[in-house]
Amino acid sequence: AQRVTQPEKLLSVFKGAPVELKCNYSYSGSPELFWYVQYSRQRLQLLLRHISRESIKGFTADLNKGETSFHLKKPFAQEEDSAMYYCALHPAGDYASGGSYIPTFGRGTSLIVHP
Amino acid sequence: DGGITQSPKYLFRKEGQNVTLSCEQNLNHDAMYWYRQDPGQGLRLIYYSQIVNDFQKGDIAEGYSVSREKKESFPLTVTSAQKNPTAFYLCASSKGLAESTDTQYFGPGTRLTVL
């Protein structure tokens, strides 16, 4: 079974400080990892996915298969980064052999950036 | 702000009543999903549908029912059998089984309160 763990419910930092939102996963196959973000009064939306290897709004995330992690990082946090962040695992290709293709979400981390 | 819409935004229900939440998408996506979002519990999958006239139970399907008569529509009925229905409900869509690792697009959500 696949599992996504976000150990921090709440992360509070000051503007300009580095931020790292942790995500660990458990999956026997080859996963696709995503970060979704939900700003206040906005819908949940994709922030970035590991396969794209891009930086979005200054955020980056590297898939570490050895440590089964996909931590989200930003060197200098901004107040507008305050939001709820969800890590998600999309199983890749298992559906062909009868496995699940349904994504699994972590419980989310609330990031608060203080001025 | 089209793409995927949900209605109503807020819904109040008396105990013992069934209620139906609407979800519509114009993205031509094959797959649609219903999630329940509770504080501290992340997103939990209720039902999903890969294609018209087909749907599968998710992790917490008890007390819920769905239909998928049209590609664009995936309504969720919260029945009186659901013990704790007060929650925020999110509908999502993605391209479909052939693109199993594709991004999910979310609706704005419906907040259901049982009085």
State the nearest Cα–Cα gap between B19 and chain A, in angstroms.
Answer: 22
The structure tokens listed for A17 are 């400080």
Residue A97 has pLDDT above 70, yes or no: no
Residues A94/A29, Cβ–Cβ less than 8 Å: yes
- Taking all residues of chain A, what is their mean pLDDT, rounded to a whole number? 90
Least confident of A96-110, B11-25, B53-67: A96-110
Percentage of the residues of chain A whose pLDDT score is greater than 70: 91
Tell me whether residues A93 and B103 touch, CB distance under 8 A. no
Residues B18/B114, Cβ–Cβ less than 8 Å: no
- Of residues A74 and A41, the one with the higher pLDDT is A74
Residue A64 has pLDDT above 80, yes or no: yes
Tell me whether residues B97 and A45 touch, CB distance under 8 A. no
Provide mean pLDDT across the span B4-23: 94
In three state form, how does the secondary structure of A22-85 look?
CCEEECCCCEEEEEEEECCCCCCEEEEEHHHCCCECCEEECCECCCCECCEEECCCCHHHCEEE
Tell me whether residues A90 and B101 touch, CB distance under 8 A. yes
Residues A24/A49, Cβ–Cβ less than 8 Å: no
Of the residues A94, A105, A109, the best mutation for testing chain B's interface (the one with the most B CB atoms within 10 Å of its CB) is A105
Give residues with Cβ within 8 angstroms of A89, minimum separation 6: A2, A4, A25, A27, A31, A32, A33, A34, A103, A104
State the nearest Cα–Cα gap between B15 and chain A, in angstroms.
Answer: 28
State the nearest Cα–Cα gap between B106 and chain A, in angstroms.
Answer: 6
Give A99's pLDDT tier (boundaries 50, 70, 90).
Answer: low
Provide mean pLDDT across the span A57-62: 93
- Of residues A90 and A46, the one with the higher pLDDT is A46
Nearest CB partner across the interface for B108, out of A6, A43, A88 = A43
Give A106's pLDDT tier (boundaries 50, 70, 90).
Answer: very high
Pairing of strands B31-38, B87-94: antiparallel
In tens, the pLDDT along B56-111 reads: 999 999 999 999 999 999 999 999 888 889 999 999 999 876 665 678 999 999 99
In three state form, how does the secondary structure of chain B look?
CCCEEEECCEEEECCCCCEEEEEEECCCCCEEEEEEEECCCEEEEEEEEEECCEEEECCCCCCEEECCCECCECCEEECCCCCCCCEEEEEEEECCHHHCCCCCEECCCEEEEEC
Hey, which residues 24-83 in chain B have their CB within 8 Å of chain A?
Answer: 33, 35, 40-43, 45, 48, 58
Asked if A60 is an interface residue toward chain B (Cβ–Cβ < 8 A), one would say no
Residues B31/B97, Cβ–Cβ less than 8 Å: yes
DSSP A15: T
